[in-house]
Amino acid sequence: MTQTIFKDQLFKDQVAVVTGGGSGIGLRTACEFALLGATVVIGSRDPQKLEQGAAAIAATGGKVHALSLNIRDPESVNTFVDQTLERCGKIDHLVNNAGGQFPSPAEQISPKGWKAVVDTNLNGTFFMSQAVYNKAFSDHGGAIVNVIANMWNGFPNMAHTGAARAGVDNLTKTLAVEWGRSGVRVNAVAPGAIYSSGIKTYDPEFQKFFLQAGAHNQTYRLGSEAEVAASILFLCSPAANFISGATLRVDGAESLPNARFAPVDHGRLPAWDDEDL
């Protein structure tokens, strides 16, 4: 059952769009928005994920619309935003969570693979943000949160997504300045190693490698979907109205390595609301 640290009905009568909202961090975020009173619109290319995600969100007692969406395709994006406005009348929050990548040494990434990841993680984020701004936020403001990654020291074996996510970090800052005049705040969260359903999409050898990543941050564990979702919701909340153009690192200080202060297994910072950890 989804828990929350936020005030009951915090997002009452508001509309939150979550791309990639049918699974993983996106679904957890969408469920919590719904639990807090928002009408949630999730988008995905996968009909099964949409159906399963909508059922999970409805189980919170919240309102949900599940619409087909390919963020790489501007026409699909515009149709999705138009349908959302037709059904809900407005959009208050946009969470650009949809993304994808695959592990590979840089020299082995094909042009097709490179383009697919950059199209999804960078171009898709821009297409969604631009469409929502032009069709909704330019008139009444809103909040955008982009989900990126811990790529501050490079992203070995993930050069494509590291480059794309770094681009989104810069885009976040640019849009925060350009669209601030319309009452739009644009921020990002950069998760570290998170135990998410997306892990299962990788091959067993990479999964084994990834599950050991918790030993490389100061909490000495993997993060939870709930912890990332809580950060996203905070940035959408009124308490963050003075925060724009920022990227919040949700990584247990993984991005701040120091050989003199190696992580230790202290067990003092358990995961928030995650039965799998």
> Is residue 1's pLDDT more than 60?
no
> Is residue 210's pLDDT more than 90?
no
> Is residue 276's pLDDT more than 60?
no
Q: What is the mean pLDDT of the chain?
A: 94
> Is residue 277's pLDDT more than 50?
no
Q: How far apart are CA 192 and CA 173, in angstroms?
A: 20
Helix axes 225-236, 24-35, angle to 10 degrees: 50
> Is residue 12's pLDDT more than 90?
yes
| In the chain, % of residues over pLDDT 70 | 98
> What confidence category does residue 275 fall into, taking pLDDT thresholds of 50, 70 and 90?
low
> Is residue 107's pLDDT more than 70?
yes
Q: Which residue has the higher pLDDT, 274 or 142?
A: 142
pLDDT at residue 151 in the model: 95
Identity of the residue numbered 57: I
> Is residue 178's pLDDT more than 60?
yes
What phi, psi does 44 have (nearest 5°)?
-165, 160
Asked if residue 5 is part of any domain, the answer here is no
- Taking the CA of residue 40 as centre, how many other CA atoms within 13 Å lie in the half-sphere pointing to its CB? 35
Q: List beta partners, residue 144.
A: 94, 186
Scanning the chain, the segments in alpha helix (DSSP H) are 24-35, 47-58, 74-88, 111-118, 124-132, 138-140, 159-178, 204-211, 225-236
Asked if residue 76 is part of any domain, the answer here is yes
What phi, psi does 243 have (nearest 5°)?
-115, 120
Asked if residue 69 is part of any domain, the answer here is yes
> Is residue 134's pLDDT more than 50?
yes
Asked if residue 78 is part of any domain, the answer here is yes
Asked if residue 238 is part of any domain, the answer here is yes
**220-238 pLDDT, tens digit each:** 999 999 999 999 999 999 9
pLDDT, mean of residues 114-136: 97
Asked if residue 158 is part of any domain, the answer here is yes
CATH code of the domain covering residue 76: 3.40.50.720
Residue-range definition of the domain harbouring residue 32: 15-249
pLDDT at residue 196 in the model: 82
Asked if residue 1 is part of any domain, the answer here is no
pLDDT at residue 274 in the model: 61
**37-88 pLDDT, tens digit each:** 999 999 999 999 999 999 999 998 999 999 999 999 999 999 999 999 999 9
How many structural domains is the chain composed of?
1
Asked if residue 266 is part of any domain, the answer here is no
pLDDT at residue 265 in the model: 95
pLDDT at residue 205 in the model: 80
